[in-house]
């Protein structure tokens, strides 16, 4: 019976992944690898991408902006991570918790925050433009937006890695005469380098496959391949050319994802180490480092959020954005956003929970067969399957769904399925990690007292994994609320959400439309933060690193 459950539990998420992700990607691959005249009058052949100056620039710039962001994130994030890992100061726990905010803020809101700060009429952009420094037609806006989202990834990875460095090894190096700088490069850096390499692979994937930031901040010259695919599909109806580009994107992101998986596999599970004790700032150097870290986090993480709040309040109180909140179009978009996000959250939670329980059942079946604690190969594959939606970009997902299911492209079921696909991995990976941390003896003790498997799950397992479940649901809710690319591809006009309504206002001329976009962006950011806070709730100290 246990073996049967081990096979049946993964069946639902497996079928969902096959229908909504694998089959559309295969359809896209078939079209991209063998483009035909059925889709385009002049189909693009496989290697024509590198012979076309315009498309070659799009691909190379997409790679370059992702690589530049990785370098900048490492140079800025590692010193900040060192300060957070080595110094103890008031508010440190709050700073670590606030590092999650960029993951919660929708990409379109972040893009408007960048414009509110550095745009032609921004807090800093307007004085710079008056001084002759124009940032609109430069790559700075996109790179800054990338850093807003990805700097915290490197900082968080750096903090976790530095907390795994062995204090006795560092002390031994210092005893042998090594300076603090030499001890860092000879002892600490080799230990944390794999962690940082893993984080930088994620940063590269997020930047290379990003859509919302590149669409708003890249402009005509610095748009990425994802924006070009959307333009070919939505505006030029050249589906064959878009397919070829999408296949190249799949290949490149797949290569980076494989590198990430290889690095993660090489990372040894952290053992029981004695971490380097944090100390209170002493001397001018420590205080300078602390102030510098705070300045970096403020400039690249907090400033865009404060700028969007400032512009939203200005639009509501002084400008012409107040009226947009009561318009029927806005109320309809708000209702669509809430109902789509709520439906996606419920379905993603159920799917993620089943996925995680399937992993646990497969592990248990493998351990029973081999009488050992090692997980089976099938369980390892199924664990990795939860990360597939992270590897394939939302533009590629939406385009593949359009190609495979053209008759259902305007159906609510397909739109919600895409929402669920992008949201459920957060729940699945969070619950899987929590289940891995649970001792098997807990459930076995309840079962030995006569409790049925269902009762064991409801009364024992579910309460223990509830913090992880809330955390996964919080990120899933924020993802659904801010979803943009899928909605642009698959939504009907009457299904306009807040993200697409903001984009529509940005595309219209006039200060009134800009004020309306800022007011709506403030509303959307408030909804995302509220949903995240309500679902995750206040965590107790012993839950924070669960």
CA torsion 485→263→20→227, rounded to 10°?
20
| Distance of alpha carbon 501 from alpha carbon 517, whole angstroms | 8
- Which residues are CB-contacts of 353 (< 8 A; sequence separation ≥ 6)? 427, 428, 431, 469
Phi, then psi, of 229 in degrees rounded to 5: -60, -45
Listed residue (170, 212, 502) closest to 333, CA to CA: 502
Give the pLDDT of residue 546. 35
- Give the Cα-Cα-Cα angle 500, 506, 509 (nearest 5 degrees): 140
Token pair 């990834």 in the structure block, residue: 153
Q: Is the pLDDT of residue 492 over 70?
A: yes
The answer to whether the beta carbons of residues 92 and 139 sit under 8 Å apart is: no
Mean pLDDT of 219-234: 86
Q: Which residue has the higher pLDDT, 520 or 466?
A: 520
Q: Is the pLDDT of residue 469 over 70?
A: yes
Q: Is the pTM higher than 0.95?
A: no
The answer to whether the beta carbons of residues 268 and 249 sit under 8 Å apart is: no
- Ranked by mean pLDDT, the top range of 61-70, 130-139, 155-164, 528-537 is 61-70
Q: Which residue has the higher pLDDT, 345 or 234?
A: 345
Domains in the chain, CATH or no CATH each: 40-299 (1.10.3720.10), 328-394+404-538 (1.10.3720.10)
Question: pLDDT tens digits, residue range 48-95?
Answer: 667 778 888 888 999 999 999 999 999 999 999 999 998 888 888 888
| Distance of alpha carbon 492 from alpha carbon 412, whole angstroms | 9
Helix (H) or strand (E) holding 380: helix 377-385
What is the pLDDT confidence band of residue 419, given thresholds at 50, 70 and 90?
very high
Listed residue (198, 195, 84, 207) closest to 143, CA to CA: 207
Q: Is the pLDDT of residue 102 over 70?
A: yes
| Distance of alpha carbon 226 from alpha carbon 245, whole angstroms | 9
Listed residue (333, 340, 343, 331) closest to 493, CA to CA: 333
**Over the Cα atoms of the chain, what is R_g?**
24
What is the pLDDT confidence band of residue 294, given thresholds at 50, 70 and 90?
very high
Percent of the chain with pLDDT over 70: 83
Q: Is the dihedral of CA 136, 137, 141, 146 positive or negative?
A: positive
The answer to whether the beta carbons of residues 431 and 468 sit under 8 Å apart is: yes
Give the pLDDT of residue 147. 94
- Give the Cα-Cα-Cα angle 537, 522, 227 (nearest 5 degrees): 105
Listed residue (61, 49, 406) closest to 244, CA to CA: 49
Q: Is the pLDDT of residue 448 over 70?
A: no
Phi, then psi, of 215 in degrees rounded to 5: -65, -40
- Ranked by mean pLDDT, the top range of 46-60, 220-234, 416-430 is 416-430
Q: Is the dihedral of CA 80, 84, 89, 93 positive or negative?
A: positive
For 490, half-sphere exposure in the C-beta direction (CA atoms, 13 angstrom radius) is 31
Q: Is the pLDDT of residue 376 over 80?
A: no
Average the pLDDT over each of 72-86, 332-346, 472-486 and give the range with the smallest value. Answer: 472-486
| Distance of alpha carbon 394 from alpha carbon 484, whole angstroms | 9
Length of the chain in residues, anyone?
546
C-alpha 519, offset from chain centre: 24
What is the pLDDT confidence band of residue 349, given thresholds at 50, 70 and 90?
very high
């Amino acid at each position: 019976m246990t073996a049967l459950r081990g096979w049946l539990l993964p069946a639902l998420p497996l079928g969902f992944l096959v229908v909504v992700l694998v089959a559309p990607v295969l359809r896209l691959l078939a079209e991209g690898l063998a483009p035909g005249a059925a889709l385009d009058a002049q189909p693009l052949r496989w290697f024509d991408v590198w012979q076309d100056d315009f498309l070659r620039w799009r691909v190379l710039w997409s790679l370059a902006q992702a690589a530049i962001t990785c370098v900048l994130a490492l140079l800025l994030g590692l010193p900040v991570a060192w300060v957070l890992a080595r110094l103890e100061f008031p508010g440190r726990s709050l700073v670590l918790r606030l590092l999650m905010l960029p993951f919660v803020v929708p990409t379109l809101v972040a893009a408007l925050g960048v414009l509110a700060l550095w745009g032609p009429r921004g807090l800093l952009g307007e004085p710079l433009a008056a001084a002759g420094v124009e940032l609109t037609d430069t790559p700075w806006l996109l790179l800054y937006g990338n850093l807003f989202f990805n700097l915290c990834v490197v900082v968080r990875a750096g903090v976790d890695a530095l907390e795994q460095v062995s204090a006795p090894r560092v002390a031994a190096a210092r005893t042998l005469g090594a300076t603090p700088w030499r001890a860092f490069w000879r002892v600490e850096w080799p230990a944390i380098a794999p962690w940082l390499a893993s984080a930088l692979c994620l940063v590269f994937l997020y930047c290379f496959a990003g859509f919302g930031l590149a669409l708003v901040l890249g402009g005509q010259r610095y748009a990425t391949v994802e924006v070009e695919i959307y333009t070919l599909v939505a505006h030029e109806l050249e589906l064959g050319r878009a397919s070829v580009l999408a296949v190249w994107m799949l290949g490149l992101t797949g290569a980076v994802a494989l590198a990430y998986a290889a690095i993660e596999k090489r990372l040894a599970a952290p053992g029981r180490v004695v971490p380097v004790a944090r100390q209170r700032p002493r001397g001018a150097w420590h205080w300078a480092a602390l102030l510098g870290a705070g300045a970096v986090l403020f400039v690249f993480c907090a400033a865009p959020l404060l700028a969007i709040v400032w512009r939203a309040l200005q639009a509501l109180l002084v400008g012409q954005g107040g009226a947009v909140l009561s318009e029927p179009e806005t109320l309809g978009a708000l209702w669509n956003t809430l109902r789509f996000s709520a439906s996606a959250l419920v379905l993603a939670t159920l799917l993620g929970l089943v996925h995680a329980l399937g992993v646990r059942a497969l592990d248990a079946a493998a351990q029973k067969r081999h009488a050992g604690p090692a997980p089976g190969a099938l369980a390892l594959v199924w664990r990795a399957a939860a990360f597939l939606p992270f590897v394939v970009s939302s533009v590629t997902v939406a385009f593949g769904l359009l190609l495979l299911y053209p008759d259902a492209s305007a159906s609510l079921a397909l739109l919600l399925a895409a929402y669920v696909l992008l949201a459920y991995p957060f729940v699945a990976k969070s619950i899987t990690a929590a289940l891995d941390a649970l001792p098997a003896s807990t459930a076995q003790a309840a079962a030995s007292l006569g409790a049925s498997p269902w009762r064991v799950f409801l009364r024992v397992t579910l309460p223990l994994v509830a913090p992880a479940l809330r955390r996964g649901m919080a990120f899933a809710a924020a993802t659904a609320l801010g979803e943009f690319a899928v909605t642009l591809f698959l939504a009907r006009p009457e299904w306009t959400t807040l993200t697409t309504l903001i984009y529509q206002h940005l595309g219209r001329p006039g200060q009134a439309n800009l004020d309306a976009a800022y007011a709506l962006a403030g509303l959307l950011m408030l909804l995302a933060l509220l949903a995240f806070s309500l679902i995750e709730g206040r965590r107790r100290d012993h839950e924070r690193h669960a």
